[in-house]
Amino acid sequence: MSLLKYNQKRNFNDTAEPKGKVERSENELKFVIQKHAASHLHYDFRLEMDGVLKSWAVPKGPSLDPEVKRLAMMVEDHPYSYKDFEGTIPEGNYGAGNVIVWDNGTYLPADDNYKGTAEKKLLADLKKGHLSFTLKGKKLKGNFSLVQLKGKQENAWLLIKKEDKYADAADILKKDKSVISKLSLDTLEKQAEKEKTLSKKKSKTVSKKEESKKEKLGYKTPMLASLTDKTFDDPEWVFENKYDGYRTLAVIDGDDDVQLFSRNEISFTKNFQAIADELKKINHEAILDGEVVVEDENDHSDFQLLQNYLKTGKGNIKYYVFDILNLDGNDTTNLKLLERKELLKMLLSKYKFSNIFYSEHIEEKGTAFLEEAAKKKSEGIIAKKADSLYSIGRRTNDWLKIKLSQQEEAIIIGITEPKNTRTHFGALLLGQYENDKLKFIGKCGTGFTQQTLKELHEKFEPYFLDKSPLEEKNPVRDKIQWIKPKFIAQVKFAEWTQDNHLRQPVYLGLRVDKKTKEVVFAGKSKDQSIKKEAKMEKTKTTKDKETENNFDLKIGKTTLHLTNQNKIYFPDDGITKGDIVNYYSEVSDLILPYLKDRPQSMYRFPNGIKEMGFYQKDVDNDKIPSWIKTKKIFSESNDANIDYLICNDKATLLYMANLGCIDINPWNSTIKHIENPDWVVIDIDPEKDDFKEVVKTALTVKEVMDGFETECYCKTSGATGLHVYIPLEAKYDYDSVKLFAQLIAREVQTRLPEITTLERSIKKRNHKIYIDYLQNRTGQTLAAPYSVRPKPGATVSTPLEWSEVNDKLSPSQFTIKNVLQRFEKKGDLWKPVLGKGANIKTILKSIS
């Protein structure tokens, strides 16, 4: 029972949907079915349980025909009061569209032979994945079942009508009117359109009022700063903090009315009502210039937090004011900057504000101010000429912005097809204008939550294009859905590449305060890039190198301190620690499902592969960051508990890589069922360099498993061997699994006696391939799929299709330099290993 997800998805300042709180019926349990025309028409089936409405989206709607089984996707719990919700969810909100209450009534368990309350019975059945109940509705009556589909997505169910006197082959969905308002969805949609038109007319009236106010005070668009990459000291300049938010002009009439505008005159008043209300304290006419930000607990402005504020109204919102354009009808733009700032400070000091702040500055010492800004993890600083006038609507060299963090505005021109577990889309395609032509600047595939992916896709859908908006040739191989160049994304990134693409861009949010034509190309022409790189090579200082070597990386809410990124880990290949960290950053979505909840035996190479590595199982909780997850597991060999590191997220994965973990070695079982491994592994370990015989052995394992009518999957070890995995779904304990693995190994060895052995002792193997079934013991580990190995070339343990397991296969052909393109093309070939498991009992019966 949780309404947290429901509340997080909705902006209750913008939608009439009820805010989530736990409530209950006094007597009988209620149900409701809402017909919902969102991006796709569907029916929402909701059952009251445990103070909330358990909810399923039924795309094709319910049926009274027992022969018809409807797919029902379980979604987040909804509040009890949602049972009466009917109306329009505005555009830009989660689930935007029209809703009617198609049916409602009461319900109870179909089986009346149970102990305790009806609700307890239903909750127990829900947990089991099979609910049977009787509906007493206005349209739906009689017995129904909801049955969870095994082996599919965990939220996939079937809604089935049971055979009884209410069963009917007729289409119940033809009864299309609301049981509350008697309106059909079509009628409601027409009403909503009328209200929308009236609202626009009203909005135009308000706009006229705003326009007259702006004209009265001589409102103009704000002055802009030019970009520079150098700081300086100069007594004729002052320096201010650069904020990570929305540039906002406040028009105050001194008569309890305040309007807020973006730099392009978009109204921000409703979005930032708390700021507008606070400015009403000022009993003067004025136009103020500043930045609206939302700050974290450390008082750092964060654009993503500001995006969340726009959706939820929650956050530490502030308005930093740095200039004044008009005071009591007097134009102040012709005053010098320091004169304007003195006037502004005097005005603001007259009032006690909770979220309005004067933006302080320092004189002359820009270099020290930038260093201080870096310590505070600010976005950068602004340099302003002390005697400069306010140049309306112009970008001049009298104001300069000096960035610390790399951020860009980019136009969204398309989306790629989602892969693996991702939904809605894979990555954004980004562009900027160069000489009025759109130029492709890269893909952005990180920085999204599941909710963000869905919300963005809903925004994009009406603007899908059949043709590319680029004049240049399509630069991406993925399947692309092009989008009209309408949306502007704010992204942070590591650097511009030589081919003028953003390296490692991360999505921060959509900008609503700028026009697409303002988003101009910020990279360098090819000649400029070459010259700049040559100059940088000559002038790079030790301090610059240290900065590249050690830096902070923010992953979600976690800040990770990365060290010694230039240290060479693979001397013969020139591959650095930073290259390993970057690789794991790129493949985190692929590798993490096979690490989640699994104890990690960390194999560390802090000085690279030429030096001796060491295993670390026990971590010191006093020395690791507080956000790292660990689990105590008793070790019989040590006769003590060991604190194992658990790697469930990208931040932990990169933390391990930064410790020198070149390869990642998880247990075969998770902490949820520590005694039951999720797979059988057959480790094919050759002593001599004859990979064709390794391939032959792996194919024989498949041949044996084919005889058992059981799937198995192969990956390179990343060294000299191959690993074959058989999924088990954690249904058997380690002892049973080890015996099963031994049975498979013996059968393979019987078929290949000349080239394979089960002898563990190297001396007794006679140079044959060792079929290692003992990897299936508690605490044993193998390199995870997608793991780098501490071998020359930085080879990668790579999942294979069985058609690739042939004489052309080489143990060293997959490295960090070439696998990313393969993974992008083939997706996650290892996914079935976590799917339906083998039935060991059935196999043993077939053998006997």
State pLDDT tens for residues 14-26.
Answer: 788 988 788 888 8
Q: Looking at the domain that runs over 407-528, which CATH code has it been given?
A: 2.40.50.140
The residues of the chain that CATH labels 2.40.50.140 are 407-528
- At residue 202, does pLDDT exceed 60? no
pLDDT on residue 534: 39
Q: Which CATH architecture has domain 234-403?
A: 2-Layer Sandwich (3.30)
* CATH number 3.90.550.10 given to 558-670: no
Query: Which range (412-426, 609-623, 809-823) has the least confidence?
Result: 609-623
Per residue in 676-695, pLDDT (tens digit) is 999 999 999 887 778 999 99
pLDDT on residue 198: 64
**Which among 745, 734, 739, 758 has a CA at the least distance from the CA of 704?**
745
- Helix axis angle, 691-707 relative to 734-751, nearest 10°? 110
Burial zone of 265 (CB within 10 Å; 0-12 exposed, 13-18 middle, 19+ buried): middle
| pTM metric for this prediction | 0.42
Give the C-alpha separation, 220 to 539, whole Å: 43
Across the chain, mean pLDDT equals 87
Give the tokens for residue 735.
């002892």
Q: How confident is the model at residue 542 (pLDDT cuts 50, 70, 90)?
A: very low
The residues of the chain that CATH labels 3.90.920.10 are 558-670, 679-847
For residues 585 and 153, the model is more confident at: 585
SS3 495: strand
Give the C-alpha separation, 340 to 144, whole Å: 73
Torsion angle of the four alpha carbons 366, 369, 374, 380, in this order, in degrees rounded to the nearest 10 = -60
Q: How confident is the model at residue 498 (pLDDT cuts 50, 70, 90)?
A: confident
Say which CATH topology domain 679-847 has.
DNA primase, PRIM domain (3.90.920)
- State the first-to-last Cα distance of the chain, in angstroms, to the nearest integer: 48
**Which among 262, 258, 259 has a CA at the least distance from the CA of 247?**
262
The residues of the chain that CATH labels 3.30.470.30 are 234-403
